[in-house]
Amino acid sequence: MTQHKITLISVLMLFFSLFSGNINAENSKQFGNYVIHYNAFRSDTLTPEIAKAYSLTRRNNRMVINITVQKKNGDVTRPVKAKVNGFASNLTGQIKALEFKEIHDGEAIYYLAQSQVSNQETLKFDIKATPAGESLVANVKFKQKFYTD
């Protein structure tokens, strides 16, 4: 795949993840000089081409969580590598392990994981991100309800 197509896929993925009606708007938290951006959405909101490019299963009962870590330097932020791990739990306490894979797209770096969801299932996410070369562990917690019908 050419660099142009990969960048286009990245832009489309960001567009779908931010503007899909089935998700919350992108969220972020600041930790020191770092900003962690996170969002979760149903994978069937992705186009087949984007899902294939990133080896994601595209179904209404699958969600994708997208994490990016950026370092702030004044008004400029730049993506950085990080160790990202975490899990999601539903309201009955069932744990869903999240296996993040690192995606490089030009200068952008994404961490993506998938899990199965049920209709009207609320997931509580507990994500830890440690920027490369840092001892700082950024802990991001949020919850989201998914609809599969």
Mean pLDDT across the chain: 86
**DSSP secondary-structure letter at 44?**
G
Q: Which of 46, 37, 60 lies closest to 17, judged by CA?
A: 46
Q: What is the pTM of this model?
A: 0.82
Q: Let me know: does 49 contact 13? Beta carbons within 8 Å.
A: no
Q: What is the pLDDT of residues 99-149, one digit of tens each?
A: 999 999 889 999 999 999 999 999 999 999 999 999 999 999 999 999 998
Predicted confidence at residue 10, as pLDDT, reads 54
Ranges of each domain in the chain: 3-146
Q: Let me know: does 88 contact 64? Beta carbons within 8 Å.
A: no
Does 3-146 carry CATH code 2.130.10.10?
Answer: no
Q: Let me know: does 100 contact 85? Beta carbons within 8 Å.
A: yes
